[in-house]
Amino acid sequence: MLHFRFSKPILLATLALTYSITCYATPSKADYKSFQPSPDQPYYFEDGKVDFGTYNGFRRYHADCHVCHGPAGLGSSYAPALLDSLKVMTWGDFVNVVISGREGRDNMIMPSFAKNVDIVTNLSDIYAYLKARADGVIGATRPAKFPKVKKLIADN
């Protein structure tokens, strides 16, 4: 079963046909164990450590996005620095671009990842990672992490 850590109407609209999506309960932020990510609070950070989902976002980003967007969202010679993009982009904007793709100037192409299960199911984690980068909470290196928390909420 595929699931997101959080969802939004736009995401549902784009993907409802393809994937079944888990929606989480009201966001909370007591500690990493009870942390529930949301578009407003996508990552958990304490004592220099991030929640496991945000860490997963780091590794997924570096598997599939960094070849164009550079290490740690710093940008490269042919795609923008997402570190800066996420200072202004919302979760909705973000999902839109990654799912639909976009063609910019000079053959600058952001591919559509709608068909990529590895990305679609980890998108909220990637967002959390990049948002933490954009907020200056974590640096360019591999972030330290809290252990994985078994999700208590059952899949829909």
Partner 1 sequence: MVTAKRKVLAICFTASAMLAAAGGVTANSELLKMQQNANDWVMPNGNYASTRYSELNQITAKNVKDLKVAWTFSTGVLRGHEGGPLVMGDVMYVHTPFPNKVFALDLNDDGRIIWKYEPRQDTSVIPVMCCDTVNRGLAYGDGKIIMSQADTTLVALDAKTGKKVWSVKNGDPSKGETSTAAPMVVKDKVYIGVSGGEFGVRGSLTAYSLKDGKQVWRGYSMGPDSDTLLDPQKTTHLGKPVGKDSGINTWKGDQWKIGGGATWGWYSYDPDENLVYYGSGNPSTWNPVQRPGDNRWSMTIFARDADTGMARWVYQMTPHDEWDYDGINEMILVDQKINGKMRKALVHFDRNGFGYTMDRVTGELLVAEKFDPAVNWATHVDMKTGRPQVVAKYSTHQNGEDVNSTGICPAALGTKDQQPASYSPRTGLFYVPTNHVCMDYEPFEVSYTAGQPYVGATLSMYPAPGGNNLGNFIAWDADKGKIVWSNEEPFSVWSGALSTAGDVVFYGTLEGYLKAVDAKSGKELYRFKTPSGIIGNVNTYMHNGKQYIAVLSGLGGWAGIGMAAGLTDPTAGLGAVGAYASLSNYTQLGGTLTVFTLPD
CB 27, min distance to partner 1, A: 26
> How many angstroms separate the CA atoms of 133 and 7, rounded?
21
If one asks whether residue 81 binds partner 1 (CB under 8 A), the answer comes out as yes
Q: Are 9 and 23 in contact (CB under 8 A)?
A: no
What token pair was written down for 144? 């330290």
Among 33, 118, 147, 153, binds partner 1 (CB under 8 A): 118
Largest CA distance in the chain: 47
If one asks whether residue 107 binds partner 1 (CB under 8 A), the answer comes out as yes
If one asks whether residue 58 binds partner 1 (CB under 8 A), the answer comes out as yes
Bridge partner residues of 28 (DSSP): 36
Q: Which residue is nearest to ligand HEC (CB)?
A: 104
CB 69, min distance to ligand HEC, A: 6
Q: Quick one: which of 15, 8, 4, 17 has its CA closest to 122? A: 4
**Which runs of consecutive H residues, i.e. helices, occur in the chain?**
9-15, 52-64, 66-69, 82-88, 91-100, 117-120, 123-134
Residue 70's binding partner out of partner 1, ligand HEC, none, with CB under 5 to 8 Å set by partner kind: partner 1
CB 105, min distance to ligand HEC, A: 6
Among 140, 147, 153, 155, binds partner 1 (CB under 8 A): 140
Binding site residues, partner 1, CB under 8 A? 58-64, 66-68, 70-72, 74-78, 81, 101, 103, 106-107, 109-111, 113, 115-119, 139-142
